[in-house]
Each structure stands twice: as C-alpha cells, then as structure tokens.
Structure 1
Amino acid sequence: MTDSTFPWLTAMVVLPVVGALAVWALPAGVRRHARHVGLAVSLLVLALGVGALLQFDTGAAATHQLADLVPWIPAFGVSWALAVDGVGLSLVLLSVVLVPLVLLAAWREHPDDAAGRPGPGTATAEAATVTSATTAPVVDGTRIRTYVALVLLLEAFMVAIFAARDVFLFYVLFEAMLIPVYFMIGMFGGLQRRYAAVKFLLFSLAGGLVMLVGVIALYLQGPGGEQGFLVDTLVGAEMSTWTERLIFLSFFLAFAIKAPMWPVHTWLPDAAEQAPAGTSALLVGVLDKVGTFGMLTLCLPLFPEASRWAAPVIIVLAVVSVLYGALLAIGQADLMRLIAYTSVSHFGFIVLGIFAFSSVSIQGASFYMVNHGLSTGALFLLAGFLVARRGSQRIADFGGLQKVVPVLAGTFLVAGLSALSLPGLSTFVSEFLVLVGTFTRHPAAAIVATTGVVLAALYVLLTYQRVFTGPTRPELVATRDLSTREKWVVGPLLAAMLVLGFYPAPALDLFREPAGQSLEDVGVQDSQPTVSTVSPAETGDHDGSDQ
C-alpha cells in the first residue's frame, strides 16, 4: 500500500459522520434546513473525492494508494486500514457522486405528517393533482432531518467499505451499513415498508453471520500478529484445500446475497418496491456493488484455488441470473420492481465477467459496476419523480406522458437505453468487454448470456411504450415536467453515461492493471482475443511472381 501525506480516505469517512451528527443535533427551529446542511456536507465530500482522484497515480492503478494505516485493536490484529486501487477508487467516486444527487432529489420528500408513500394502485386523480403542485413540505423538519442524517451516515460506510484493506474492518462495515438502510426503508418507505426492511435485514444478517465464521477461520490460518487481519498479510496464507474452499464459500455466500444473485436475490424486489426512490438508487446503484467488489478484491486473491474450483458453477449461476432477472423484469406490473429485476440481470453479467478469468472480462466487470450505478441510479430517481406525480408505481396507471412531460420522457428513455447497453452509452462498453472476454474462455456461457441483451431491449422499450406513448390519460394531462432542481439531479448522470460511452479510455485506465493483477492473484494465464495471421508462404503469395 502506498501512503499519502493527507488522509483523503479517512477524511471522506469522518466528514459525513460529523455531518450526520450535526444534522441530527439541529435545534427544532432550524431543522427545516437539514437539506441544506446535508447537501453542503455531501458536496464537500465530493470535493475530497475529486482531490483523491487527482492524487491517484493511474499509471499504477493496481497498487493500493492513498493508504491510511492505524492500529485499531492490536491485541486482535485489527487495523484501521484504508487504501484504494483503481476499482476501489471508482466505486468511492460513484458513492460520493450519487449521494448529493439523492439528497437533491428528496428535497420535497418526507414531510413530517407523512406516514409512508402510497402503495401500488392507491393513487387517485386528486392525489396526482396534489403531488404535482409545487408546495413546500410541512415545516418542523424532524423526518427530513432523520433521512438526511441516515444518508450521510450511509455515505461514510460506503466510502469506508470500498477502501477497507483489513478483513475484520470490512466485515464490521459490511454489517454496520445495514443499520441506516434498514431505517431508510422501514421509516420512509411504502405501505409494506416494515416487511421489506425486515426481509432485507434478515437476508443480509444471515449472509454476514456465515461470513463472520469465515473471517475468524481465515485469521486462524494466517500468521496472526498486530496486523493479522490485513488483506496483504492474509494473501498467500497456507491452508488445506478443503479449508480454503469452505472459507471461500462463506465469503461468497454473503457476497452473493448482497450482490444479489439468483437464487438469493428475493429480498431486492421487495426492498426496491417499498423504499424511497433515493434509497433504492443508493441500495442498488452502490451498496449492492459491495457483493461483486468483495468477490473481486477478497475472494480471488485470498482463495485462488477455491475460486478456480468454484468458477464453473458460479458462471452457470451468473448466466441464470442474467436470463432470470430479464425475464421477470418483462412481466412486472410495478415500476420499481421492474428496475430491481433488471439489476439482478445486470449483476449476473458482472459476476460472469469476474469468474470468466480473462483480463478483458474482469476489466469489463469492473467498469460495469460503475456504469450500472449510473444508469440504475438515474432510472430509480426518474421513476421516483414519476411516482411522486402520479401517486402510484403501477405501470398500468401511466400512459401518454411523452406529450405532457417531454423532458422527463426523454431523460427516462436515455437512462433506459443505457440499461439495455445501447452503443454510445457507457454500459455498452462494459457489457461488450464482459461478453468478449468471456467468449475467449467460455463461449457457450457468453452466447447464452447474450440473450439477456435482447431481453433487455424488450423490458426497457415495452416499459417506455406503456408509460409514455399512446393517448394521454385524462388525469395526467396536468402533470408537470421536470423542474430545474430535478434536471440537476439527472443531468450529471446522463452526461456521465454519454461521456464514458464515447470516451471510456480514462475510466478503463483505472481497471486495466487491477484486472491483470486479479488474474495473477488467482493463478490463471490471461486469454486474450486473437487475430489469426497467415504468412505469405502459407498462402502461396510470395512476391506476386506466381500470378
């Protein structure tokens, strides 16, 4: 790990925690300003993220840089160890970009008299008219203060877990970030919010407890000492074949639940359906990346033999996830559940790229994590704007909105086209790399997974058709288009998709060397797409004299 003179990563963790405490401590008379304080803090964290990016040496992206290493519990070998390679830095930046946009999107949400969002099918024409009015929220600010504080606390956990280089610290953060998400769903979600929050918590805790057994077993296999839980210390630890495989499975199960992969994905559609749109954007756009990030940065280097051993089965599960998520997305009647199932499909592509063990596929999977966060975050936020106007999440309650809200329709279409990996948008690059890299080693899996691309076109375009085209429903004629604030929410995400779609080279520079390092860690020789070359002697064309 390369040390830094300024603790960039620690500052990006501490600042949102301090901001959350400050927001929570606001006196009753000024709690309505919690949004302003939270947005200001999140923008400061974003500025720190930009500073960290400028300090990062992209020429050595496989090296963990900007390191902060402080003994935490030396008697147990636990350290406060933060550092990022290119993959970790990209996910930290994704986190700090999305948080201020989520806070801005929730500017008029969560008034103090709210008892939860309307559930699917509860809208009326009167409710749609009321929600379309630009009225200020109820003044006391207690609920919005709580929501903003939870978002800032979650931001701190997200930055820390993508930078954690101590396995025990990673586990603590893995479990701790469940707390703000649980309350963000359970306090601010829809009519079935408590059920969804408890289901999310139980699935995550089950995976975390299994992982804890693996964390302890891994430490016992290592050299121990005051830095016994450091990833760099544990890499190469000697253990028997079956011990390594069992510990690998304990980590992988927790990461598969978090990702989520089929068949341990069932908590996600319920959580996405009931959570506020901003919470879903963070949950699916960022937090679920902890699963695939853990597979890439912990499972492969710590358990190389077990990773190779399990790869064939994991590839099959990944392909099933691609197809299963896409097929179920097509049949959804709820807008938020549809987006959740598309993510199950997309995470299948990411896992496929990781365990195909090609530098191209791993590079694509790493880039896919960022691009999925951009496109899915935009989709959830735009869907939230739609739900706020209509008072319903049922797709059948919409229709003909393109004529009434052309900007909202256009931005939703761009985000949807990104989700189906249209050329020119960033997701296309990452999905193409995953499929090409996978084809070099597992052509059958790549061919079957390509079916997911066709299914993606169906669920995106059919949804757009049902929501925005056709005759306008009478109760939607007065629906307002995106406000200036809402344009500022989705504008940066759409701009990032376009820029990275046409010029992905700077982003890919962050992933190229880490991909090669991952193959070296797992002990697999790279498999590159090759172009067949034939010499003139083999073709009979020596110098043209035979003609």
Structure 2
Amino acid sequence: MSFPLLTVTAALPAVGAVLTAAVPAARRTAAKWLALAFSAATLVLAMVVLARFEPGGDRYQLTESHAWIADFGVRYELGVDGIGVALIALTALLVPFVILAGWHDADPLETNSSRWRPTQGFFALILLVEAMVVLSFEATDVFLFYLFFEAMLIPMYFLIGGFGDRAGAHGEKEAATQRSYAAVKFLLYNLAGGLIMLAAVIGLYVVAGSFSLDEIARARANGTLDMASSTERWLFLGFFLAFAVKAPLWPLHTWLPNAMGEATTPVAVLITAVVDKVGTFAMLRYCLQLFPEASKWATPVVLVLAVISILYGALLAVGQRDIKRLVAYASISHFGFIVLGIFAMTSQGQSGATLYMVNHGISTAALMLVAGFLISRRGSRLIADYGGVQKVAPVLAGTFLIGGLATLSLPGLAPFVSEFLVLVGTFSRYPALGIVATLGIVLAALYVLVLYQRTMTGPVKPEVSAMPDLRVRELAVVVPLIALLVFLGVYPKPLTDVVNPAVKQTMSDVHKKDPRPEVEAAK
C-alpha cells in the first residue's frame, strides 16, 4: 500500500492540537513551541505534496479511498487537483506565521492573576482548524467534505469568542459581550448555510446514488445520471448558498466585519486568508463540477452579486474608522473579484480567481499582521489614534505600506497578476461587468492610501512617539510574506503551471470555451 500522504498531511496538525492541549498549564511556552513545530512539519509535508503533484496528469492525484459508512455509500476518499494543492500549500504556509504572530495573544491578562487565558487551547484550536481546512481541500467525497466544512466552525467559534482582541474595548465585560456577539453571529450564519447544504447533499445522493465526485462524473459522462433541470438548480442553490456565506458574498457577508474586528489579529488572518477560501474553492470543485447546467443558469445573478460585493466592500472600507474592519470590508471586495472570475466562465477568469485565492491570502496576511503589531503597540484599532508612525517606526511603516500596495494590486506584486486575469477574463465575455468591476481598483487605491496617510504620515502624535519598531519575531513573520508577494508578482509561472490544467478541466465540466477575440492576431 502506498504511503497515505494526504491523510498524514491533514492528521499531523490534528495530532499536534491534541498534544498541545495536553501540555500542563504552567508550561505555556512549551505549548507554543510544540504548536509551531507541528505547523512547520505540516508545511514540509505540504511542500512534499506540491512536489509530487504532476501538472497535466490525472485530475485527482495522490488519491486514497477506503470504505467508511457502506450502508449510505460514504467513503473516505481524498485527492488533490491543481487548485486544491495550491490552497493546501497556502494554508500550511500561513499557519506557522499565524502562530508566531499570536505568540503572546493568549498570555494571562495580568501577571500573577487568576484571570488566566488557556494558552494551550488557543494554539491547539489553530492547529485543529488547519487540519479541517486541509481535509476540506483534499476530500473528493461530498459527504466527507461537508463533515469538515461544518466541523471547522466549532474551533473557529471558540477562537473568536474565547480569545478576542484586547484593543478598542472599554472594559473586559464589554469586550466579552462583543466577542460573544461576533462568535454567535459567525456560527449562526455559517450553520444556516450548512444546514441548507446538508439538505442538498442528501438530495444529491438520492438523485446520483453516490457521494463520490469520480463516480458522479463517470455517471454523467456515460449518460446514466439523469438529473432534471429543476432538480439540478435546487441542488446547486443549496450548495451555493453555503459557499456564499463562507466566501463571504454580498448580502451574506455581514458576519465577517464583526468576526475579524473582535478576533485577535492572527485569528482574523486565519478567517479571511484560510477558512473563507474553502467557500470559493468549493464553488469551483462542487458547484461547477456537479451542477454545470445550473451553474450557467445562475451565472448572471451571481456575477451581479459579485460586482456588488466588489463595490460595496470597497466603498465601506473607504469610510471605516477601525483598521481591522477596514481590512475586513476590503476582503469582501476581493472575494467579489474571486467569485467574478469563477463565474465569468473563461480560462483567464478562473485561473485569475484561483491565483487570487492564494495571493489574497498572502497579501491580507501581510497587511493584517503588520496592522496587528501596530495595534498591539498603541492599544487602539481607531485610525484617528495614529499619526507620524513612519518617523518613529520606519520598518513597521514600510512593511505596512507594502502590504497595503499589494492589497490595491500594485503591478509587480502578486495580487496584480490575479486581478488582471480576472478582469481580462470577465471583460472578454461580459464587458459591461468588467468595466464596472474595475472601479473597485480605484476605490482600493483610495482606502489603502488614505489609511497609510492618516496612520503613518503627518506630525507624530504623543501617544506613538515612543513606539518601538518591529522586533525580530515580527520581522520573521512579515519578511517572508513580502518576499513571496514580490516573487509571485514578477514570476507567477510556477503557480499558473499548477492551476491551469485544473481550470481547463473545470471549463470542460461546464462545456464552456473561451470567446474568440474580435480582432485576429496578425500573421
């Protein structure tokens, strides 16, 4: 039997979560190092998965299949395509930086205080989320995917509600109330979407007689799967609504600003850079592959919702006074670009959307983590409480600027490539929507540059005059992310070579071809 590489890659952080949680309460530092070691080992395994993946080979590679719940046709089936392997690599890459950035976020609130925070639990929950996200990217059985799609809500709920941000609250009681509200809202929105999806999962089994993506694809190819148009549309809606909540897509987005605002900065990064990618990934893998005709039927409405998300998120980001909520609304705008690229039904659009998932994860992590370092020094999330930071902490200001420029998709940084491909792919089939979506770029430049101007430039406010610059641990978090943004910005080929064959297969699933150019190339 071949080595179960995918299982081990997902199981390693889960084992690390158990061992980290079991560390005695007095050994908080040991728990941190143990969690970091397991996250680093998971990254090594993810790189092995990436190295063993053969672009242009079988659609799903490194596959594993075992009987699980035979009476209901549920199997433990894993496999990765180019899109899944890229997102596994992203997840494994970001989690060690999340742990390093949150090194002190779960420490006791006061020295020698009885109001201690369970440090071991904080890092164990992060590893548990990583395990469930990786399994979601690996699962090729619909029921198995649904199980981990929903299960990840539990550790995320405790991370948001139990380890909230200490900045910006007027007191511990009010902070606890705000955290509880954000955590419950996150849970209710995602549970509601998940319950609708569960009904659709059951309906899919009734119609197809299987949960396996491979078996359903074979049945569709040989004509033995007879799914009425109305049935396919209802099932599509059941899946899509759950993914749109997770994504998050307007108008199902309202949980995100609360969750990111009240969570610690590393957990906010975990939400928007890792967990939310499961929603857009699932649109590609499940909505388009399982329900191709319904996906084309819903495309006009989904594209309009995506453009609304782009403009709505960007406009609200412009008006924000809270740094973390500004990044949250900016992420809503960016997810609109991802959904736009997916449902433009062009190879450029879907390649751009996949690249956007990866590049957005890196750029948002860089910006949000530097913002978190800034907030931890001042003790406030309000933009008005800052000014002149670049004069007292130039390295912090410089890295903040680079993260912001990546967020607005400056040419030469990784998000530019993905945003450009999304807009080109959209414009080739839906020029009007492509033009309107371009306004999101203008608004992004506005909210990023205004944020930098108000926090980093101008006279030095007395409250920031003694602010220290980035420390060694913080530089170890930020510098690799910035280096990766530059590398993928000038040389995205290694990533495009991995994802393009999977995108080509998805285009084949929905029976779509790229539009012919109106002007033929000169011979």
Say whether the fold is shared (TM-score over 0.5): yes
Residue 133 of structure 2 contacts residue 149 of structure 2 at CA under 8 Å; is this kept in 1?
no
One-letter amino acid matched to 1:80: Y
Residue 32 of structure 1 contacts residue 141 of structure 1 at CA under 8 Å; is this kept in 2?
no
Alignment partners' CA distance in 1, 2:468 and 2:26: 32
Residue 261 of structure 1 contacts residue 344 of structure 1 at CA under 8 Å; is this kept in 2?
yes
Against the structure 1 CA distance between its residues 138 and 41, is the aligned structure 2 distance closer, same or farther, given a 3 Å change threshold? farther
Q: Once the two structures are superposed, what CA deviation does each residue of 1:223-256 show, in whole Å capped at 9, x if it has no partner?
A: x3xxx21111223232111000000001101111
Of the candidates 436, 461, 471, which is equivalent to residue 424 of structure 2?
436
Q: Which residue of 1 aligns with 2:168?
A: none
Q: Which residue of 2 aligns with 1:20?
A: 17
Alignment partners' CA distance in 2, 1:245 and 1:306: 5
Q: Which residue of 2 aligns with 1:132?
A: none
Q: Which residue of 2 aligns with 1:201?
A: 187
Does 2:150 correspond to 1:188?
Answer: no
Gapped regions of structure 2 (runs ≥ 5): 166-174
Gapped regions of structure 1 (runs ≥ 5): 115-135, 536-547
Matches within 5 A, 1:466-481: 466-481=454-469
Against the structure 1 CA distance between its residues 529 and 507, is the aligned structure 2 distance closer, same or farther, given a 3 Å change threshold? farther
Q: Secondary structure at the match of 1:480?
A: coil
Does 2:135 correspond to 1:160?
Answer: yes
Q: Relative to structure 2, which stretch is displaced further, 64-73 or 312-321?
A: 64-73
Alignment partners' CA distance in 1, 2:444 and 2:25: 48
Of the candidates 2, 5, 9, which is equivalent to residue 2 of structure 2?
5
Alignment partners' CA distance in 1, 2:123 and 2:77: 27
Q: Secondary structure at the match of 2:64?
A: strand
Q: Once the two structures are superposed, what CA deviation does each residue of 1:303-332 show, in whole Å capped at 9, x if it has no partner?
A: 011000000111111111110000000000
Alignment partners' CA distance in 2, 1:417 and 1:28: 41
Q: Once the two structures are superposed, what CA deviation does each residue of 1:406-432 show, in whole Å capped at 9, x if it has no partner?
A: 111111111110110000001000000
Q: Which residue of 1 aligns with 2:81?
A: 85
Say which structure, 1 or 2, has more relative contact order (CA 8 Å, 6+ apart).
1
Against the structure 1 CA distance between its residues 521 and 487, is the aligned structure 2 distance closer, same or farther, given a 3 Å change threshold? same
Alignment partners' CA distance in 1, 2:240 and 2:516: 27
Q: Which residue of 1 aligns with 2:228?
A: 240
One-letter amino acid matched to 1:199: K
Residue 358 of structure 1 contacts residue 528 of structure 1 at CA under 8 Å; is this kept in 2?
no
Q: Where does structure 1 differ by over 3 angstroms across 4 or more consecutive aligned residues?
A: 136-142, 528-531
Give the total of aligned pairs.
506
Q: Secondary structure at the match of 2:412?
A: coil
Of the candidates 86, 97, 104, which is equivalent to residue 101 of structure 1?
97
Q: Relative to structure 2, which stretch is displaced further, 281-290 or 518-527?
A: 518-527
Q: Which residue of 2 aligns with 1:36?
A: 33
One-letter amino acid matched to 1:436: V
Alignment partners' CA distance in 2, 1:385 and 1:45: 26
* Structure with larger Rg: 1
Q: Which residue of 1 aligns with 2:153?
A: 178
Residue 281 of structure 1 contacts residue 378 of structure 1 at CA under 8 Å; is this kept in 2?
no
Matches within 5 A, 1:337-486: 337-486=325-474
Q: Secondary structure at the match of 1:59?
A: coil
Q: Which residue of 1 aligns with 2:48?
A: 51
Q: Which residue of 1 aligns with 2:261?
A: 273
Q: Which residue of 2 aligns with 1:499?
A: 487
Residue 25 of structure 2 contacts residue 120 of structure 2 at CA under 8 Å; is this kept in 1?
no
Q: Secondary structure at the match of 1:70?
A: strand
> Following TM superposition, by how much is the alpha carbon of 1:138 offset from its aligned partner in structure 2, in angstroms?
7.8
Alignment partners' CA distance in 2, 1:528 and 1:260: 32
Of the candidates 313, 330, 335, which is equivalent to residue 301 of structure 2?
313
Structure-1-length-normalised TM-score: 0.90
Q: Once the two structures are superposed, what CA deviation does each residue of 1:122-155 show, in whole Å capped at 9, x if it has no partner?
A: xxxxxxxxxxxxxx99899862111010001111
Q: Secondary structure at the match of 1:423?
A: coil
Q: Which residue of 1 aligns with 2:196?
A: 210
Alignment partners' CA distance in 2, 1:218 and 1:397: 53
Alignment partners' CA distance in 2, 1:340 and 1:277: 11
Identity of aligned residues (%): 55
> Following TM superposition, by how much is the alpha carbon of 1:530 offset from its aligned partner in structure 2, in angstroms?
6.2
Of the candidates 323, 329, 332, which is equivalent to residue 317 of structure 2?
329
